[in-house]
């Protein structure tokens, strides 16, 4: 891959935090930092050999991507670039560089692949978020009823032709909100991050239209022998997180971690979701870029 020219945009403190990751990317030979923009007062002309410029001076240089280090200000940064007629596609959020053993070439290959993640709970949405990747799946901010996910995936295309239908409301015992429970056919979906069925359906339908059936990736949490057998029947590319001992190449066996998980997390689901979060400090048991790209050596632990 030809080196990609990056402009770094953020505060002094964030620049210092991310600098080792940028240096690693330079060492790998797939990025070149051509300029830095500081949100702080401009007090230096160069830093670590990189020119320090203003936002307005972006129009006078050649670059491939702007890396925004301020996650909370990302939308404001995107608006500013838009007013300068700079495409949204040229902006990436800096948190991607926090991924273990991050490789920018692999990351760009993954973005170009337009992968649709089908997950039985929030792992998919959290993975998309940590990758600063558009949601190409309706299975975001919801979970599928235990026992239904394997059935869903073995006839996935058929189920996705069915409409999302309201069934009832339930109480989220963790957050205290009331949310809609829905069906597609005989598969039950809990839209536990939505306030109403109307909201959940509008988002579901919009994201369903983005599905890339040519690049489906499935994630499933496995807590029973029955679920393990259901997982093994899923025909698509997949990853399972299991508390049942398993040596399958597409399963991360967590059976030996249960004491640790019980001490640190709300439950196994919380641990699995934590593996996908960019803001959760814990050992990551897989390289997410290698995993989603289908590389065999994606596991970091055994």
Q: To which H or E segment does residue 14 belong? A: helix 12-28
252 close to 286: Cβ distance less than 8 angstroms? yes
d(CA 190, CA 194): 9
Low-confidence ranges of the chain (pLDDT < 70): 280
Q: What is the pLDDT of residue 42?
A: 79
Give the strand pairing for 178-184 and 165-171.
Answer: antiparallel
Render pLDDT for 231-271 as a digit per residue (tens, 0 to 9). Answer: 999 999 999 999 999 999 999 999 999 999 999 999 999 99
Closest CA to 239 of 98, 114, 121: 121
C-alpha distances out from residue 201 to 26, 154, 167, 248, Å:
44, 23, 12, 36
Q: What is the pLDDT of residue 173?
A: 80
C-alpha distances out from residue 170 to 166, 191, 240, 297, Å:
12, 10, 27, 41
- Six-digit token pair at 21? 């990751």
- Six-digit token pair at 279? 């803001």
Q: How many helices (H) and strands (E) does the chain have?
A: 11, 14
Beta strands in 69-227 (DSSP E): 91-93, 116-119, 143-144, 165-171, 178-184, 187-190, 216-222
C-alpha distances out from residue 7 to 73, 93, 105, Å:
16, 12, 17
How many angstroms separate the first and last alpha carbons of the chain? 31
Q: To which H or E segment does residue 135 belong? A: none
Q: What is the pLDDT of residue 175?
A: 77
d(CA 160, CA 254): 31
d(CA 266, CA 61): 49
164 close to 205: Cβ distance less than 8 angstroms? yes
């Amino acid at each position: 891959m030809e080196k990609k020219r990056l402009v770094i945009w953020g505060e002094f403190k964030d620049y210092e935090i991310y600098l080792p990751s940028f240096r690693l990317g330079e060492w790998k030979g797939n990025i070149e930092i051509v300029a830095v923009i500081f949100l702080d007062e401009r007090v230096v002309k160069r830093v670590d050999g990189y020119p320090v410029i203003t936002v307005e001076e972006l129009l006078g240089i050649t670059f491939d991507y702007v890396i925004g280090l301020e996650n909370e200000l990302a939308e404001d940064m995107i608006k500013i670039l838009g007013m300068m007629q700079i495409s949204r596609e040229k902006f990436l959020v800096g948190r991607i560089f926090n991924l273990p053993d991050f490789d920018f070439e692999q990351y760009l290959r993954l973005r170009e692949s337009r992968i649709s993640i089908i997950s039985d709970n929030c792992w998919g949405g959290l993975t998309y978020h940590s990758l600063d990747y558009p949601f190409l799946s309706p299975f975001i901010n919801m979970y599928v009823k235990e026992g239904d996910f394997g059935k869903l995936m073995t006839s996935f295309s058929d189920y996705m032709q069915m409409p999302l239908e309201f069934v009832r409301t339930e109480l989220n015992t963790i957050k205290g909100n009331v949310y809609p429970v829905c069906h597609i056919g005989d598969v039950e979906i809990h839209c536990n991050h939505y306030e109403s069925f109307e909201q959940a359906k509008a988002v579901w339908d919009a994201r369903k239209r983005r599905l890339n059936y040519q690049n489906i990736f499935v994630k499933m949490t496995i807590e029973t022998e029955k679920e393990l057998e259901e997982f093994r029947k899923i025909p698509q590319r997949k990853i399972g997180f299991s508390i049942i001992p398993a040596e399958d190449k597409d399963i991360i066996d967590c059976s030996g971690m249960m004491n640790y998980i019980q001490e640190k997390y709300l439950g196994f689901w919380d641990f699995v979701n934590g593996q996908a979060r960019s803001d959760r400090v814990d050992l990551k048991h897989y390289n997410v870029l290698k995993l989603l790209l289908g590389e065999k050596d994606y596991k970091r632990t055994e």
